[in-house]
Amino acid sequence: MIPSAEQTSADARLGRIRFVLVETSLTGNIGAVARAMKNMGLSRLALVRPRRLPDADAFARAAGADDLLGAASVHETLPEALAGCRLAIGSSARARTVEWPLVDPPGCARLLLDEATAGDVALVLGRESSGLTNDELASCNYLVQIPTNPDFSSLNVAAAAQVFAYEIRRTLLSGADRSMQPTEPGDSDQAPATLEQMEGFYNHLLRALIALGFADPDQCRKLQRRLRRLFNRARPDRTELNILRGILSAAEGRKSPERFRDRSR
């Protein structure tokens, strides 16, 4: 049991964790994920380009979590679904040519609960058949993998969601996340930039690199992923991100040294 004095804080953190499903094929899986979430006190579900919107099969599999399905947001892109989040963790069983910071399910739960003290966070689950693409994973700060049988590693998306939802609940009840010294909301300029703000920076960075002749617009996908990994690991705050974007603007020729000379007169 969570002491009553802490229940409000616990509920608030759970309310800031969203599960994001990318291009789910079977509506029954959407309903099963909603059920898994509600079992563990989670309520925010986001859908990115589902093959079909929740239907009778989804509501049947939800088994009473109809409110989560009814409130689920639907988005055209993953960055839209992650808008306002300060942290995202992507789940995938596939090996990657570009390595990403990796956590296990308990570590994933601790990170989500810790960061949810100060703002919205997300767990991203990919397609039933192929998981997340490298570009989609590039929108996340971490990769989480469930340690399954290496000879049969593919988990149904709803089964994976149940594992993660359980770990979040277990971690919350045990208080294990408190050892991570959660950051309370404070000066917004000192908070890590949101994923939405980071997307704006990545678009600006790509434009600048192309304009400077550093990147080939047709052959820079791997470069983009590596740069995303670098800055996702660094997690600049909003002031630092503004500095970086100012540097990019100067490199693009939008700022001139003359502006400093004019000030000294």
Q: How far apart are the first and last CA of the chain?
A: 67
One-letter amino acid at 88 equals A
CA distance 8 to 35: 22
Per-residue pLDDT tens for 226-254? 898 899 888 999 999 999 999 999 988 86
Work out whether strand 85-91 and strand 17-22 pair parallel, antiparallel, or are unpaired: unpaired
Could you give the domains of the chain?
4-180 (3.40.1280.10), 195-254 (1.10.8.590)
**Digit-coded pLDDT (tens) for 118-150:** 999 999 999 988 889 988 999 999 999 999 898
Q: What integer pLDDT is reported at residue 106 of this predicted model? A: 97
Mean predicted confidence (pLDDT) in 207-221: 87
The DSSP code sequence of 150-181 is TTS----HHHHHHHHHHHHHHHHHHTGGGGG-
Listed in sequence order, the residues at least 6 apart from 128 whose beta carbon sits closer than 8 Å to its beta carbon are: 24, 25, 26, 29, 156, 157
The first and second tokens of residue 77, run together, are: 């892109």
Q: What is the pLDDT of residues 55-112, one digit of tens each?
A: 999 999 999 999 999 999 999 999 999 999 999 999 987 766 667 889 999 999 999 9
C-alpha separations of 184 from 32, 181, 194 in Å: 33, 9, 16
* Residue 85 DSSP code: E
Question: In whole angstroms, what is the distance from residue 72 CA to residue 60 CA?
Answer: 16
Q: How far is CA 229 from CA 93, 113, 139, 235, 252, in A?
A: 18, 22, 9, 10, 23
pTM for the predicted model, two decimal places = 0.83
